[in-house]
Amino acid sequence: MSAWPQLRESRTVRAGQAPGTVVRCGLVDTMLADLSVSVVYFFEQALDEERLTAGLARALERLPVFGGRLRTADGRLEIVCDDSGVPVDSYDLDETLAEAMGRVTMPTARLVDPVEASAARAGGLPLFTVRVSRLAGGGTALGCSWHHAVGDVQTFMLLMRTWSAAVEGTELPPAELVQDQDAFLDEVLPAGDCGRPGFRLPGPEEAALLGREVAGALRANRTVQVYFGQAEVDRMRQELSAQAGRRLSSGDVLCAHVVSSVRELDADAEVRWLTVPVNVRRPLGLSAGLVGNLLSEIHLPWAPKEGTAALAEALRGAVEEFTAEHLNLRANLRFLESIGRERFADCVPLGFDPERRRFTFSNWSRFGAYDVEFGGRRPVFFSPAANLPLPWVSWMVEGFEGSGYLFTVVLPAKLAGRLRGAEGRAVLHRFRDPADVLPAAAGSVPKVV
């Protein structure tokens, strides 16, 4: 175990101006308002922290929600863009780059200062935090945590691209604040949708079970990271596309392959549901610069006997027919009206159903995680950090140095152990050739399967 991190400097970064804009959170924002998301960027070099903080101040001018604070007014959650600022703490950490990368998903990694999501709803607490860790040997870990009510991963990546552009002196990307998310969606959504809301109201027994699941998550579950090289993914796409008789994406086949592999290692032949959050900006023709949680989801049933290619093909079809068959944002509002807004806090997303082993897959690739640049330095590794380890939840993003894909999945401890063992590695990497050349950084982190 390394020595405890040594704090070098603590500061609050502000834009220097408070626009006073008030953003009324929408239904999806509010559903996610008890969650924060934490990620870490790893660089082989030291970063200029003065340039970093100066660039962040400029980025907060463009995206003031990250420097604001939450409040509740007339029963609605709001973000007040008051420039209260972002805490940025700088540490010295007695770990090498490889050691830090290998521990990134562990609760004891100490690479991020997680936003206190539930407490922040009452106001006064930050919605974005930054921890800069100077590592042994000269590397840097840049840990970021944001309140999910502020926005989805596209919103976060927009902030990071803006921050990077400010540091590099290039043109800042456009950003658009929506002051009333539900009213905005009412204007742009199709008149009809699939009719199925994306959340449910559990009964007392299920609510108690879900509460125990959350309370025991740290003890019961483990996070596994699997790296798939580009050549490996190409073979996977070729074989599964041939079986499906149509072209499949990397996301389609990787999701299907990992879900199928987990079910195989769990000896689970039952029909289970897969939930896939979808960024609705593209299917609805909305601006990529829109800030907030512009999310709906796909829900698909699947049984292992149907085969991996069938799941990948079903996912591809669902993406292509998303607006007509899966979009549910109007259905969400109708459901809320039917139960009463005061009961919203008792609802849970459909995707959170651990008793039925409902898998959730979030595809973070193609959002530009590796396009971030600070002082000419690009990250060699980007990863989710130690968020609350709820089981059957997974994320995918580009892998080491932006090559291949990193798949992060949270599973019950025994099953996670099977994935890490020889059998699990053989099942997960059945498309890998021993001659495949992997990025140098991949070989330095043995904890990544």
pLDDT at 443: 84
Q: Do domains 15-185 and 202-375+387-443 have the same CATH topology?
A: yes
Structure tokens at 166: 């400010």
Q: Are 66 and 146 in contact (CB under 8 A)?
A: yes
Q: In the predicted model, what is the mean pLDDT of residues 14-21?
A: 94
C-alpha to C-alpha distance for 76 and 27, rounded to whole angstroms: 9
**Predicted local distance difference test score (pLDDT) of residue 387:** 80
Pick the closest to residue 449 from 226, 259, 261, 233 (CA basis). 226
Q: Which of 380, 271, 257 is nearest to 308 (CA)?
A: 257
CA-nearest of 360, 364, 221, 190 to 283 is 190
Q: How confident is the model at residue 447 (pLDDT cuts 50, 70, 90)?
A: confident
The yes or no reply on domain 202-375+387-443 and CATH 3.40.50.720 is no
The structure's pTM equals 0.95
Residue ranges per domain, the chain?
A: 15-185, 202-375+387-443
Residue 242's pLDDT is what?
Answer: 98
Taking alpha carbons only, the member of 46, 77, 393 closest to residue 223 is 393
CB 59 within 8 A of CB 53: no
Return the exposure string of 216-247: e unless at least 16 CB atoms fall within 10 Å of the residue's CB, then b: ebeebbbbbbbbbbbbbbebbbebbbeebeee
In this predicted structure, what is the pLDDT of residue 159? 98
Residue pLDDT, tens place only, 380-423: 999 999 888 999 999 999 999 999 999 999 999 999 999 999 99
68: tokens are: 């604001």
Structure tokens at 211: 């509460």
Name the pLDDT band for 1 (thresholds 50, 70, 90): very low
- Please give the mean pLDDT across all residues of the chain: 95
Over residues 19-49, the pLDDT tens digits come to: 999 999 999 999 999 999 999 999 999 999 9
Beta-bridged to residue 359, according to DSSP, are 274
Closest among 295, 298, 304 to 252, alpha carbons compared: 298
Pure H helices in 79-116: 97-102
Predicted confidence band of residue 342 (pLDDT cuts 50, 70, 90): confident
Query: What integer is the mean pLDDT of 44-71?
Result: 97
**Structure token pair of residue 363:** 């595809």
Fold of 15-185: Chloramphenicol Acetyltransferase (3.30.559)
CA distance 40 to 140: 10
Residue 424 phi, psi (nearest 5): -65, -45
Residue 379 has pLDDT above 80, yes or no: yes
Q: For residues 72 and 89, what is the distance between their CA atoms, to the nearest angstrom?
A: 28
> What is the reported pLDDT for 2?
52
Q: Are strands 69-73 and 76-80 parallel, antiparallel or unpaired?
A: antiparallel
Q: What is the pLDDT of residue 388?
A: 82
Q: What's the pLDDT tens digit per position in 242-254?
A: 999 999 999 999 9
What are the pLDDT digits (tens) for 309-334? 999 999 999 999 999 999 999 999 99
What is the pLDDT averaged over residues 343-352?
Answer: 91
pLDDT digits 0-9 by tens, 218-243: 999 999 999 999 999 999 999 999 99
DSSP assignment letter at 435? T
- With CA atoms as reference, report the closest residue to 257 among 274, 277, 279: 274
